[in-house]
Structure 1
């Protein structure tokens, strides 16, 4: 065989090997979830030990506008909500916490007609106001509330309206700085929070940061939240990175329910 043929054969073999390697790499990349935890994390592990008397489940915005195909945000959050099974998982957390007799609090997001008179806002605030997200007739007016985008998901209403669940005053942008969540939790001796709800990189993340700054231990339930996927980015992925950096614990719903049931 000539040297030229040998070179040609070697090149062909190299190309074939490269193609196989590329196909295998592509298959691995396809199999791996973009949300998978790092195989070799650098940050030290941390955890939260729950107690029946010092722990609360806090669910942010379990509202139709976020979690139902009928909601105005479904077009951008629906894929993520479906992937994470967020509606089902929030329900599991509610049921487990009620059975364990934990403190349960809901931090809703409402806009009243006067809120539409704000002089400035960020990009997402502008969008929410424009599409009427979380709109209510007024702070003392429930006209049109039932079944609206601002209403609670029907799967949870019996648990939220049981006379025991704390429904805080509304938060207005993302975090709980403008509502009474901290007061309600402190008055009940709570210093540990299991955090879930919508949406991951906005209100849930803002609640996480605020609660941490106020001295709470916070475990975020990673598949009991979700976020928008838009050209600007995947909000769920962005939040997951930050949850790994700062949350005292990051659990699945299975893990959170197991720990709550063990109390």
Structure 2
């Protein structure tokens, strides 16, 4: 796997679930993920990636989770992670836990996609339309949780023809084993795995013109 070109004309940064319930002590999953979120400084790394994308004129997209009372009450045949989220009413649309964390407050360079109800937005929100209609074919992915929504977005992005750079240190999971398994899978699935420091530099220095335009 070589370095993927980050070009602001066809590249997007994608954060999955940059929300309070996944990333803050007051979130309902903090007891399961908080140690790794803090150990790997995930919030700061996501913030740095967002800032660098802004500097390089690379758009940032958020793929969030939201559920309402009717869904919590009426959904049946839940899988393992759905059951955990529903038991805790995670990402309740009317609760503080579904809010985007303050450090990642959307700005003019940020686009919040519609809610994904399962692990991948490619099956549940407008991610495919937003990317293809904007000419995006390369996605830099980070966020929460490494072994769930991040990995599912990576898999489906690749299956749908996108090139993927997985930022493997800007994520966490409900346990070190899950995190390491997700990193191993990302190395097999993504076109490139990279660290935040490297991606930040590449986003900041993303070329603003093509070689042909530069020669002219």
Query: 1:152 corresponds to which residue?
Result: 100
Correspondence 1:248 to 2:191: yes
Q: How many residues align?
A: 204
CA offsets per residue over residues 111-152 of structure 1, 9 Å max, x none?
A: 111212112111121111011110114xxxxxxx5xx01001
**1:73-105 deviation per Cα after TM superposition (whole angstroms, max 9, x unaligned):** 011101111121101000000000011111211
Taking the TM superposition and a 5 Å limit, the aligned residue runs for 1:32-51 are 45-51=1-7
Query: Structure 1 CA distance, aligned partners of 2:47 and 2:109?
Result: 16
Aligned match of 2:114: 169
Look up the SS of the partner of 2:18 in the other structure. Answer: coil
Using the TM superposition, name which of 80-89 and 195-204 deviates more: 80-89
Confirm whether residue 204 of structure 1 aligns to residue 122 of structure 2: no
Within the candidate set 159, 181, 184, 1:238 is matched to 181
Using the alignment, how far apart are the partners of 1:156 and 1:245 within structure 2?
29
Identify which of 67, 71, 82 aligns with 2:23.
67
CA–CA distance in 1 between the matches of 2:201 and 2:63? 24
**Secondary structure class of the residue paired with 2:170:** coil
Give the structure 2 partner of residue 125 of structure 1.
82
Q: Is the 8 A contact 2:55 2:203 kept in 1?
A: no
Which residue in the other structure is 1:56 paired with? 12
Give the 3-state SS of the residue equivalent to 1:223 in structure 2. strand
Task: Give yes or no for the alignment of 1:190 onto 2:136.
Answer: yes
Q: Does 1:105 align with 2:48?
A: no
Q: Kindly indicate whether residue 92 of structure 2 is the aligned counterpart of residue 135 of structure 1.
A: yes
Task: Point out the more displaced range, 188-197 or 112-121.
Answer: 112-121
Task: Report the CA distance between 1:65 and its aligned residue.
Answer: 0.5
Cα distance in structure 2, aligned partners of 1:90 and 1:241: 21
User: Aligned residue for 1:77?
Assistant: 33
Shift of 1:237: 1.0
Displacement of 1:163 after TM fit? 4.0
Runs of 4+ in 1 over 3 A off after TM superposition: none
Q: Aligned partners of 1:164, 1:87: CA distance in 2, in Å? A: 18
Distance 2:44 2:146 in 1: 16
- Displacement after TM superposition at 1:164 (Å): 4.0
Q: CA deviation at 1:52?
A: 1.7
**TM-score of the pair, normalised by structure 1:** 0.75
**Alpha-carbon separation, structure 1, partners of 2:177 and 2:23:** 17
Q: Is the 8 A contact 2:11 2:137 kept in 1?
A: yes
Given the two structures, how large is their TM-score scaled by the length of structure 2? 0.91
Look up the match of 2:49: 93
Contiguous gaps of at least 5 residues in structure 1:
1-44, 138-144
Question: Cα RMSD between the aligned structures?
Answer: 1.2
